[in-house]
Chains A and B, each alone.
Chain A
Amino acid sequence: MRNDVWRIGDREFKSRLILGTGKYESLAVMREALEASGAEIVTVAVRRVDLGDRGAESLLGQIPKGMMLLPNTAACYTAEDAIRYARLGREAGLSNFVKLEVIGDPKTLFPDNEELLVATRQLVKEGFVVLPYTNDDPVVCRKLEDAGAAAVMPMGAPIGSGLGIQNPNNIRIIVESAKVPVIVDAGVGTASDATVAMELGVDGVLMNTGIAGARDPVAMARAMRHAVEAGRLAFRAGRIARRMYATASSPSEGILT
């Protein structure tokens, strides 16, 4: 069970928990939560510098050293926009990894898979390591993989919903057929949700609101770290079969008469 490392592109990771950096009440709390989580990858958004707010605290200064920045293309609704943000993120962050999002609907934040595929193909051509956020749809995941995605990131439930893994069977099918890492992205509300995802055999879990929105984000970050580790261990250990009736654990021999 040791040395349970995994890879995305040419990078190797030990932690299977990936965290977003949005929605924290302060950067100090974010920093503590990131540290408590043991995550090695954190997502960041690309936005205009606020020229009127020179005293603004810097985000990067509060991200613990050694964590890999994963720029996202959040709030993009077309392949063209997502490609533009990805290029800017690469330029600002000096890494070719991108968490690719192309949203199709503001209410559900479901992805626009048609645009997502167009953007994936283009960015792969430009040398990006593309991690696309998508539905829990095995066919779309296969198409993304064929387009050159370095991982596929099906949602567990809508972004920020905290509903947990809504369609465990789909996730299992995706895991079974994918040759690239599968990362459940979105929907985790509490520790058991992360464990369920990992028990299905996914390679990692990405979350933000589940931690940032908790009453005590730092404690929740710690819980998520253990939850992901527990789920991974249970998956590798191999669970027992489900049975309809009881099977006693104590011997039936030697019972007093």
Chain B
Amino acid sequence: MAREMEVTLNGEKRRLPEGCSLLELLASLELRVDRVAIELNREIVKRDGWEGTRLQPGDVVEIVHFVGGGR
């Protein structure tokens, strides 16, 4: 059993396997979203960096997408 760590994901504390990559995180969330953007500790991580970016304990992750909005 892999060891766990705590990160903050979209404002909530979550326990994830140690060394979890952003791509693995997305897969585990089973999100049905077309396009998302990811911020790690306030810095955007581009799509091609999701696989290689491994989370550290205490990281703050934001996953955003588009919702209806306008005037």
Contact = CB atoms under 8 A, between A and B. Distances in A.
A229 interface: no
Contacts of B33: 49, 58
Contacts of B11: 48
Interface in A170-220: 185-186, 206-210, 212
A58 B66 CA distance: 9
A172 to B, nearest CB: 22
B63 A59 contact: no
A51 to B, nearest CB: 6
B35 A60 contact: yes
A93 B37 CA distance: 8
A49 B69 contact: no
B71 A209 contact: yes
Nearest to A185: B71
B61 to A, nearest CB: 11
Contacts of A27: 68
Given A48-B62, A54-B30, A88-B44, A24 B69 contact: no
A93 to B, nearest CB: 6
A71 B66 contact: yes
B31 interface: yes
Contacts of B70: 19-23, 42-43, 45, 72, 74, 206-209, 212
A58 B31 CA distance: 10
Contacts of A69: 66
Contact of A49 (B42, B44, B63): B63
B7 to A, nearest CB: 13
Contacts of A209: 70-71
Contacts of A89: 37, 66
A93 B35 contact: yes
Q: Which 7 A-B pairs have the closest CB atoms?
A: A20-B70, A45-B69, A208-B70, A208-B71, A91-B37, A92-B37, A44-B66
Interface of B: 9-12, 29-39, 42, 44, 46-47, 62-71
20 contacts: A20-B68, A22-B70, A23-B68, A44-B67, A44-B69, A45-B67, A46-B67, A48-B63, A49-B33, A51-B12, A58-B34, A60-B35, A71-B66, A84-B42, A87-B44, A88-B39, A88-B64, A91-B46, A207-B71, A208-B71
